A and B are shown apart, each in its own frame.
Chain A
Amino acid sequence: MASLFRSGLRLARNFGTKATVLGSHSSITRYSIPSCAKYSTDVSETSSGIIQPTEQIPAVRVSPEIARQKLVEYGNFVSECLPKFVQQVQITHTNELELLVDPEYIVQVISFLKDNALSQFTNLSDITVVDVPTRPCRFELVYNLLSLAYNQRIRVKSYTDELTAVDSIVEIHEGANWYEREIWDMFGVFFKNHPDLRRILTDYGFDGHPFRKDFPLSGYYEVRYDDETERIVREPLEMAQEFRKFDLTSPWEAFPKYRKPAELPPPPTETEDKK
């Protein structure tokens, strides 16, 4: 059915019968004025508190409440259209929409976001990975997209572990080429159907994936010029001082809203044959 919403970020289900559009008009001249969310549907619809820019008044920034409401409606629209692909939809407190997606269907979701006339997320801003080693699927893939037509951003998140490959989106967004190479180099996430997946930032014979959380800060090898052999040599790391780790956690609780209840063992049950 429709994707799940977190209780703390519960999205309203009050979308109307009109397909919601994170609308903005570009003017018909070639120098289109970038504007924030304006509705481009029927002329009879009210602008719901959004002031259209004219030559005298520049585009006024949309208030956060209205911007959030529009994103909420759009998030509902996407989750309604793609219930098979989208596991959750959430919106951050800074009004950033995130779609949490099944990794099998990343290509489909990004294709939808690019081609759909009401979305038009044609610009791929970034692809990254967040490594959270405590999770079973430790790598959280993050795709950031921008819609130039509607001046909105969206984030598509998925997950994978060290051994599972993920489909490349290079066929949809050409710009994903180097981003995916970087992810392969730095994290070790393999992309199927990538035209040219090889290292991009590490040295030529480098072993390992540096951005993983279990890779040490200083690395394993050091490189220096050796006078005798007159070439660069790579040797295991030798540090003059051992690595100092500072525990910077504050004595006060950081996230009171995300407090997990302490897991106590279940109380001992009184059995009848207890003597």
Chain B
Amino acid sequence: MASKISTGLVGLAVEANPRQKLNILYNSILSVVSKIPATASYRKYTEEFANQQLKKLDTIKDDVQLEIDLGPGQFEEVIYNAKAELRLARKMISWKPWEGLVVQPPPGQWDWP
């Protein structure tokens, strides 16, 4: 985006190469998530999301249209969110949330009133 001077957000600098960065980020999300068992829903949804975004990166050539389609916010915000998702994916491998519920709440805990 050669024409963008400022994001308008404090602390978020303009990205010179958003497409390349996003490509790298989504592909690394896919590689991290592939370490999770295929039955896990998190893997399914995250792969779907990353593939959707990569497809948009490939098909939409116009930068302005891409910024609108790629997700809520500007390129810089989308990059920030992709980095956060990558961090989360790495943590999910160690947390293993796809295993079933282990601890039941004490009886009557969630009754209301």
State the CA gap A116–B82 with chains docked (Å): 9
Interface assignment of A167: CB less than 8 Å from any CB of chain B: no
Interface assignment of B34: CB less than 8 Å from any CB of chain A: no
In the complex, how many angstroms separate the beta carbon of B58 from the nearest chain A beta carbon? Answer: 14
Residues from 77 to 111 in B contacting A, C-beta threshold 8 Å = 77, 81-82, 84-85, 87-88, 91-92, 95-106, 108-110
Give the total of A residues in contact with B, Cβ under 8 Å. 50
Interface assignment of A30: CB less than 8 Å from any CB of chain B: yes
Contact B101 A115 (CB under 8 A): no
Interface assignment of B11: CB less than 8 Å from any CB of chain A: no
Main secondary structure of the interface of B (DSSP, over half): loop
Interface residue from B8, B102, B113 paired with A29 (Cβ < 8 Å): B8
Contact B48 A84 (CB under 8 A): no
Chain B residue nearest in CB terms to A23: B72
> A25 to chain B: which residues have CB within 8 Å?
68, 72
Task: Say yes or no: A111-B88 contact (C-beta < 8 A), given A1-B100, A42-B52, A100-B105.
Answer: yes
Chain B residue nearest in CB terms to A98: B110
In the complex, how many angstroms separate the beta carbon of A70 from the nearest chain B beta carbon? Answer: 15
Contact A112 B88 (CB under 8 A): yes
> A111 to chain B: which residues have CB within 8 Å?
88, 91
Interface residue from B69, B71, B95 paired with A43 (Cβ < 8 Å): B69
Interface assignment of A108: CB less than 8 Å from any CB of chain B: yes
Contact B85 A82 (CB under 8 A): no
Chain B residue nearest in CB terms to A17: B48
Chain A residue nearest in CB terms to B74: A28
Q: Give the contact-size bracket for chain B.
A: 35 or more
Contact B72 A26 (CB under 8 A): yes
Contact B106 A87 (CB under 8 A): no
Interface residue from B48, B71, B84, B92 paired with A114 (Cβ < 8 Å): B84
State the CA gap A23–B84 with chains docked (Å): 18
Contact B84 A108 (CB under 8 A): no
One digit per residue, 1 when the CB lies within 8 angstroms of any chain B CB and 0 when it does not, for chain A 192-204 equals 0000000000000
Main secondary structure of the interface of A (DSSP, over half): loop
Contact B109 A30 (CB under 8 A): no
State the CA gap A31–B84 with chains docked (Å): 24
Contact A159 B105 (CB under 8 A): yes
Residues from 34 to 64 in A contacting B, C-beta threshold 8 Å = 40-43
Contact B49 A118 (CB under 8 A): yes
Interface assignment of B9: CB less than 8 Å from any CB of chain A: yes
Interface assignment of B31: CB less than 8 Å from any CB of chain A: no
Task: Say yes or no: A26-B73 contact (C-beta < 8 A), given A42-B52, A112-B88.
Answer: yes
Interface assignment of B15: CB less than 8 Å from any CB of chain A: no
State the CA gap A112–B110 with chains docked (Å): 23
Chain A residue nearest in CB terms to B86: A115
Contact B98 A159 (CB under 8 A): no
Residues from 32 to 90 in B contacting A, C-beta threshold 8 Å = 40-42, 45, 48-49, 52, 64, 67-69, 71-74, 77, 81-82, 84-85, 87-88
State the CA gap A192–B79 with chains docked (Å): 32
- 14 pairs from A and B in contact (CB 8 Å cutoff): A27-B68, A28-B68, A42-B52, A84-B95, A84-B99, A87-B101, A87-B110, A102-B102, A102-B103, A112-B92, A136-B106, A137-B109, A159-B106, A258-B112
Which residues on A are within 8 Å of B, measured CB to CB? 1, 3, 17-19, 23-32, 40-43, 77, 80-88, 100, 102, 104-105, 108, 111-112, 114-118, 120, 135-137, 149-150, 159, 255, 258
